[in-house]
Amino acid sequence: MRNHTIGTLTWIRMMRFTTQSNQLSNEFLKRFDLTTAQFDVLIQIKTYAPITQSQLAEKVTVTQGGMSRMLVRLEKEGLIERKQNWKTKTISLTVKGEQMIDAATPSQLHFQSSFFEEALTEEEMKALYIAMTKIEKHSREKKLPPA
Amino acid sequence: MRNHTIGTLTWIRMMRFTTQSNQLSNEFLKRFDLTTAQFDVLIQIKTYAPITQSQLAEKVTVTQGGMSRMLVRLEKEGLIERKQNWKTKTISLTVKGEQMIDAATPSQLHFQSSFFEEALTEEEMKALYIAMTKIEKHSREKKLPPA
DNA sequence: TTTTTTCACTTGACTAAGCAAGTGAATGTT
DNA sequence: AACATTCACTTGCTTAGTCAAGTGAAAAAA
């Protein structure tokens, strides 16, 4: 089991880190009665409202089905509103939703950054940012190798 | 909504990338009848067997409950065996499980690396590896800030 | 020896997501 | 006008995971 190249080691460290940091983030957001996934969706709505479900799904890398369910939960909690508009549903925040996201945003963004800021130097962070930008873009365009 | 520092931007790119790459990875592993989560668990078992459930859970950053469920599925598929040993259950691969993981490992590891290798230079990859090692370690030790 | 504690694992109720089939309204086609 | 297509969204079934309460057997305490 020494097939592990620098690439595969990076991959598993990144996977472990994201699950770990997601868990901590969820724990952190409990004080605002939100989950990481909900925070992510709400902040997109706040930025782009009014927006349709499919556009929203695209922005957070989720299928339409997943988005449909997420929005049902958020609507049940009274954080968002959906209006039927021609054949589209337009999504926007309720007052309650706006208050929650505004309350949570500063500390949550700060918490997210702290994972990097506490472990890296200024230059390392810049390099990491550039690398992630490239990798993320590449992965969006990547296609499966043939079987 | 311009609270976005380099840290928060890095965070969301990394999150988007990992979900994206997980999805592609799942699609890729379909040809071996596996999911990414299953591959991850099986390779740990192959490396560390015989191992207990809690140790395994720790290794893949999952709760004991989550591991219990995962192993039930893998056992139902006939990929692993669990033996009651004193109060512990010891997990090991079946022949079928061993065959599957051996068949999938080379291409899956190569596929994982390709996300980085195709988008970065040699130096960038090294720097990324070092950064991820630091960050991952830091996140394991990180504690929640006080409310 | 009985009782309590501890420990490894399981389970019920839940969030989150995927895929694929289904629904229902608007728009095109014949 | 009647039928077919497209499009945005929903829904059933499944994997994957969380938390917290529950189980059952071994070890420690009474």
Residue B109 sits in a domain of what CATH number? Answer: 1.10.10.10
pLDDT, tens digit (0-9, with 9 covering 90-100), for B54-91: 999 999 999 999 999 999 999 999 999 988 766 567 89
Residue B146 in domain = no
Q: What range does the domain containing B34 cover?
A: 26-141
Residue B126's pLDDT is what? 96
Contacts for B145 with CB less than 8 Å, ≥ 6 apart: A28, A111
All residues of chain B having their beta carbon less than 8 Å from the beta carbon of residue A104 are none
| Mean pLDDT of all residues in A42-49 | 92
CB contact under 8 Å between A112 and B11, yes or no, is yes
Instruction: Give Cα B44 distance to the centre of its chain.
Output: 9
CA(B87)–C1'(D28) in Å?
Answer: 16
Three-class SS of residue A89? strand
Residue B88's pLDDT is what? 67
Residue B49's pLDDT is what? 80
Q: Which of A59-68, A78-87, B130-139 comes out lowest in average pLDDT?
A: A78-87
Res A16 pLDDT > 90:
yes
Residue B12 in domain = no
Residue B6 in domain = no
| Inter-CA distances, B6 with A113, A122, B13, B79, B103, Å | 8, 10, 11, 44, 41
Q: Which of A55-59, A99-103, B3-7, B111-115 comes out lowest in average pLDDT?
A: B3-7
Residue B86's pLDDT is what? 65
Residue A87's pLDDT is what? 59
DSSP bridge partners of B92? B81
Instruction: Give Cα B47 distance to the centre of its chain.
Output: 13
Residue B2's pLDDT is what? 60
CA distance A8 to B115: 10
Is the Cβ–Cβ distance between B74 and B80 less than 8 Å?
yes
Specify the number of domains making up chain A.
1
Residue B16 in domain = no
Residue A114 in domain = yes
Is the Cβ–Cβ distance between B91 and B71 less than 8 Å?
yes
Element at B90 (helix H, strand E): strand B88-93
Residue A124's pLDDT is what? 95
| Mean pLDDT of all residues in B5-14 | 94
B7: nearest CB among A46, A117, A136: A117
Res A90 pLDDT > 90:
no
Residue A6 in domain = no
Residue A3 in domain = no
Mean pLDDT across chain A: 91
Exposure string for A74-110, b = 16+ CB within 10 A, e = fewer? beeeebbbbeeeeeebebbbeeebbebbeebbeebbe
| Mean pLDDT of all residues in A68-88 | 86
DSSP B119: T
CA(A125)–C1'(C25) in Å?
Answer: 50
> Which of A19, A35, A16 lies closest to A27 in space, CA to CA?
A35
Torsion of Cα atoms, A9 then A15 then A18 then A22, to 10°: -140
At residue A88 the predicted structure's pLDDT band, cuts being 50, 70 and 90, is low
What does strand C contact on the protein, if contact means CB under 7 A?
A: A 35-38, 60-66, 69-70, 73, 86-87; B 19, 23, 27, 52-54, 64-65, 68-69, 71-72, 82, 87-89
Res A147 pLDDT > 90:
no
Residue A24's pLDDT is what? 94
Res A59 pLDDT > 90:
yes
> Which of B103, B5, B90 lies closest to B54 in space, CA to CA?
B90
| Mean pLDDT of all residues in A17-26 | 95
CA(B40)–C1'(D17) in Å?
Answer: 14
Mean pLDDT across chain B: 92
Is the Cβ–Cβ distance between A16 and B136 less than 8 Å?
yes
Tokens 């890729």 identify what position?
A: B28
**By percentage, how much of chain B surpasses pLDDT 90?**
85
Res B1 pLDDT > 90:
no
Residue B68 in domain = yes
Instruction: Say which residue, A119 or B3, is predicted with more confidence.
Output: A119
Nucleotide with the nearest C1' to A90 CA: D8
Q: Which of A109-118, B11-20, B81-90, B106-115 comes out lowest in average pLDDT?
A: B81-90
Torsion of Cα atoms, A72 then A78 then A79 then A81, to 10°: 70
First to last CA, chain A: 24
Residue A23's pLDDT is what? 94
Three-class SS of residue A52? strand
Residue A86's pLDDT is what? 65
**Sheet containing B80-85: which strands, arranged edge to edge?**
B51-52, B88-93, B80-85
